[in-house]
Chains A and B, each alone.
Chain A
Amino acid sequence: MNDTKDVVERKEELQERRPDVPVVPPAVDIYENDDEILLYADMPGVEKDGINVNIDNGRLTLSGTRRMEASGAANWEEFGEVEYRRVFSVPQTIDMDKVNAELKDGVLRLHLPKSEAAKPKQIEIKTA
């Protein structure tokens, strides 16, 4: 009888991680052509220093934190400090060394160039 009791009354052991700022996924657009994959992510209010792009083992982690300076008395506040974070799987054909990013108007643009081997090639047909 004690066994059954243990099973049903087992407490939830997974501790919820409570970060000091809420974590939300940013809205992204993903484009691709023969040369690269291009990723746009909306990160309004995030400074360049607050952005982290990490590629590890085929996983691309994008994160950026918006900090708000202390200011006057708030009449209303519809947004606050936030961490934008999102994880993507990237194909092995990306040339990791040439990945570059730019930040403009609160939009992060991440260029993921394809390695030479992965680019489509035109095959020339020779006449015999």
Chain B
Amino acid sequence: MRTRISEFDRLFGSMDLLRNRMNRLFADFDRLYGGDLQGMWREDYPPTNLYDFGDRLEIRAMVPGLNREDLNVKIQGNYLEINGTRKSDAPEGYEAHRVERPTATFSRSFTLPCDVDADRVEAHMKNGMLTLIMPKPEAAKPKQIAIS
């Protein structure tokens, strides 16, 4: 009887081991491909962050290898559209061993949480990041209410 129990014990033990291995495998996969997918096959390219500063909205978009001429930004009310083309920057006269960096045309549109003053929007490019500073119109700014 004792031997039977130890058999079961061993069986479950090795199943635990397998489960641990699988969990590790999935965690590795997530780390590799989940956090920072850059491929343009994703529909939501470029990846963006949107921040609200009270008097303005700021959007940051990850656009490595693009410069000002490659990008187009359109704003109307609370609608924002970013489109552009990532051209190949392959050097002339070189043999390519590996090409992972994508080249494509992309377009992405957003509905902002409030209207922005399109005339006063500023756009900056730095280190492959696009920053759009979008001031809110007076009506959309938060107001301090005095309590009487």
Contacts and interface: CB of A to CB of B under 8 A. Distances in A.
Interface range for B = 35 or more
B77 interface: no
A38 interface: yes
Interface string B1-38: 01100100110011001001000100100011001101
Nearest to A47: B127
A29 B127 contact: no
Given A105-B67, A105-B125, A107-B64, A29 B54 contact: no
Contacts of B14: 8
Contacts of B93: 33
Contacts of B48: 76, 78
Nearest to A77: B49
A46 B129 CA distance: 9
Contact of A78 (B44, B91, B96): B44
Given A12-B20, A72-B54, A79-B36, A32 B129 contact: no
A74 B48 CA distance: 11
A32 B94 contact: yes
Contact of A27 (B44, B49, B101): B101
A22 interface: yes
B62 A24 contact: no
Given A30-B96, A105-B67, A44 B90 contact: no
Contact of A29 (B39, B44, B90): B90
Contacts of B62: 44-45, 79, 106
Interface residues of A, number: 40
Contact of A44 (B63, B91, B113): B63
Nearest to B50: A75
Contacts of A45: 62, 127-129
A76 B94 contact: no
27 contacts: A5-B6, A5-B9, A24-B31, A27-B38, A28-B100, A28-B101, A29-B98, A31-B96, A33-B94, A38-B91, A40-B89, A40-B101, A42-B65, A43-B64, A44-B63, A44-B128, A47-B127, A72-B52, A74-B49, A74-B50, A74-B52, A77-B50, A79-B47, A79-B49, A106-B127, A106-B129, A107-B89
Given A74-B51, A78-B44, 13 more contacts: A5-B9, A16-B24, A23-B31, A24-B32, A30-B98, A31-B91, A33-B95, A42-B64, A44-B63, A72-B53, A82-B35, A105-B64, A105-B127
